[in-house]
């Protein structure tokens, strides 16, 4: 799944990579800067929010489940002493809800860094109330709408960034724009997820070209022991649980991309693992797509997104 193989994605992979990390990169005070983290009530999202809160950032947690989110918020405030933690209940698989949230957020807050972490891997083909396949709705369209809706807010700030949590699983997929909702053939949740994660890499590259004053990056957290992995990939979890990364190790590169000045010295639009850019294609794999397909993906997502925008008040 990765250039470094299984060992590179495991806990030991992170430990060996971290020997070359410069701790000073993330020893920064980000007081006064505002960070929005989706899927922040557990796993990598929560670990990321906590680390940035420790550094003084104002954190907007965007979560689907109010009860779980309240608990996470309380925990972050208690552990970090940071009171500037705000909660927004939004379902990232619901495009109308995202638009509504973004319009309101733009009027009330500023934003320096958007962290697209919310994701799902549904193993059977399920549709949302809007008739969208659930993985696509959350991972691809939700990420697209939230990001494009908040770009005007990010454009106003100095050192604005967008960090998207993808997965090395995307390395096995070539962009496929002919079947975005997985209507054809056998449905394989893992492959659909991997395809969505490839789409996130393409979106990041396209945004980086279009919005020069925002720094975009996409990253692979390695294999971390998170509630999402346990529930959506139980067999994988059983086999790998002893070598999985901690949530904090999985979040390390997200935090680095969100707060360090080193990250923005590198070009916008790159794919990262363990604080360094890595190729988005495996050697000899035929996963490269045509530029026109990549542009087409953006056009199709824009059409989808506008369709849901026009229906909201």
Q: Determine whether 144 is an active site residue.
A: no
Give 3-state DSSP helix, strand, coil % of the chain, rounded to 5: 50, 15, 35
Report residue 79 as tokens.
Answer: 């552990």
Structure tokens, 283: 């050697």
Angle formed at CA 303 by CA 34 and CA 144, multiple of 5 degrees: 25
The alpha carbons of the chain give a radius of gyration, in whole angstroms, of: 18
Contact (CB, 8 A) for 308 and 130 = yes
**4: which 2 tokens?**
């470094």
Q: Could you give the count of Cα atoms lying within 13 Å of 15 in the half-sphere of its Cβ? A: 8
CA pair distance 127, 139, nearest whole angstrom: 14
Selecting among 193, 216, 256, 308, the annotated active-site residue is 193
Element (DSSP H or E) covering residue 115 = strand 113-116
Question: Are 173 and 195 contacting, i.e. CB atoms less than 8 angstroms apart?
Answer: yes
Alpha-carbon span 306 to 138, nearest angstrom: 16
Helix and strand numbers (H, E) in the chain are 12, 8
DSSP code, position 26 = G
Give the active site residues. Answer: 193
């Amino acid at each position: 799944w990765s250039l470094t193989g299984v060992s590179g994605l495991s806990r030991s992979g992170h430990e060996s990579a971290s020997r070359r990390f410069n701790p000073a990169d993330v020893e920064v005070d980000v007081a006064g800067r505002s960070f929005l983290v989706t899927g922040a009530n557990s796993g990598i999202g929560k670990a990321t929010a906590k680390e940035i809160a420790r550094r003084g950032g104002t954190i907007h947690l965007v979560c689907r489940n109010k009860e779980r989110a309240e608990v996470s918020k309380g925990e972050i405030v208690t552990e970090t002493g940071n009171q500037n933690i705000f909660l927004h209940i939004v379902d990232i698989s619901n495009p109308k809800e995202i638009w509504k949230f973004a319009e309101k957020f733009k009027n009330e807050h500023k934003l320096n860094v958007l962290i697209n972490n919310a994701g799902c891997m549904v193993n059977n083909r399920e549709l949302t109330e809007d008739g969208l396949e659930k993985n696509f709705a959350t991972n691809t369209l939700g990420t697209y709408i939230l990001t494009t809706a908040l770009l005007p807010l990010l454009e106003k700030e100095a050192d604005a960034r967008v960090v998207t949590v993808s997965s090395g699983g995307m390395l096995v997929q070539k962009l496929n724009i002919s079947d975005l909702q997985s209507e054809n053939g056998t449905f394989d949740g893992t492959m659909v997820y991997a395809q969505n994660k490839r789409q996130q890499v393409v979106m990041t590259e396209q945004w980086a070209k279009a919005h020069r004053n925002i720094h975009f990056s996409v990253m692979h957290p390695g294999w971390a022991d998170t509630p999402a992995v346990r529930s959506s990939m139980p067999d994988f979890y059983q086999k790998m649980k002893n070598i999985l990364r901690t949530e904090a190790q999985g979040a390390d590169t997200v935090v680095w991309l969100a707060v360090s000045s080193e990250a923005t010295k590198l070009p916008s639009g790159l794919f990262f693992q363990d604080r360094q850019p890595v190729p988005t294609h495996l050697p000899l794999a035929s996963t490269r797509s045509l530029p026109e397909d990549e542009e087409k993906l953006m056009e199709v997502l824009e059409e989808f997104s506008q369709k849901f925008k026009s229906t909201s008040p």
